[in-house]
Chains A and B, each alone.
Chain A
């Protein structure tokens, strides 16, 4: 009996079921599942909010809502999509796949892991509660400052801001706990013989993400804390009268905010190459080069923040420094793009849904990235800044680069997680609908931005009408095509054709050596990598 794990021993008697199983679980797969489900739900919620916005912007004039409510929807949409949809999705994959990929029995700190998840629902409540309160005449709704909390507007704002501040605090604790857990797991739980440079790319992506989170989330926490004291306890951090400066908040916020965007994508940059190699049936190109590039991005991420407020007024040397350092980020990314494409080159490719999403992802994120490169130019940014050009840019990176990347991962790992194949036809249909309607939604917004339409306005001048109409119609198609995705996932979890252990012919990595779905305890005996 000496080989059975202590874990086995513990878990076998009293195995809670029903709701208690989920409330108390310390199992990395259960927790991963909770993260992913939560993420999907919040994606729908955040999405439906913005559908409200797109409906209002369908034509000039105020149709559906007053400007205050409009501003509230925007900010909450963003916070939900970023903190409650995209980040939890990546963490969910980390919980599910990292132990499988590095041959560990579980995450290193299981109880902490469970706490990391259970901090999310409370923060989601805090974010959305003000809407409900407002219905009962309490307060004036959620935060109406956009997701960036800029003072003095946020100092002026109502209780929505306070709720958002504490939501951010809880989300922050959750992310830091998750990062600690992942760092520890990656350093301490790898199977014997798996050196760092043999780690799967996904693990690498997450390791750097975790470092960035630990370094930047606390700064955001500090910034919003100063906001809270400025609002209620008479400090003058962001008030010239006391010698403070509203722009200081922007520095603090974006010191977190810019790394955040790589925090969101590094895990995706991790598993996309794994998908590419699986469906090109040949090992990924330039493993080392990719790892170094990820590190380079991680390092550059924390030194370029001020490109988000070039127009706020900075000394010329500062402008130049932030412009050039920002542009420098395109260098490692060019290397990554090269490696991804070289991985496909000379492969024997087939295009199941995950591969479709991966390839579409490369192209669309390419657009997002290249437009980002343009934004980095101080002179041109005077025009782009806070125009719809920026909105289009960051949806190409966040929705295409983030969400569509996650979708590729979902289709890639779903059979492993559920033990069933999803409906391939529906999957392909979902891809095409998403890809097309996504472009129809956001390409017009590039032109709107160039033509001079500012973001965050509930109503617009007549010359912007056509493009907004196209964008709104496409947004609804985009939205409702996501219901296919939901349906496909649910039916796949319910049942369907059994999945083999290998699932995908060319798939590589330890997770595919386990049965689908994997046993409750992934690796009772660590495999040895030679």
Chain B
């Protein structure tokens, strides 16, 4: 390297750039606080909209279910199998029902019409008649 005068040497020295310091923590915190504050506000707004939407949807779906429950139960009762519930009858009912929902409803709302064989009693009926002294 040929450096003949001080000016050239100064230029050479200036080519070495001092290494930048680490950022001041507070400056970073200040910015992140501002950023996180605005982010928090927008997130809260989105969350509020979602919650309100979910509540409205929930109320509406409840109303629909309530209005449909009686008719669904009536339809299910009409088509429900009359014999006692066994795996076979349940399978058959699921296979022939118009939809899965109506099949489940039919099984749930089926009338208690299972007749007992002669000479046999329902244990629940017997127990309900007995007076148990404790």
Decide whether A and B assemble into one complex.
no
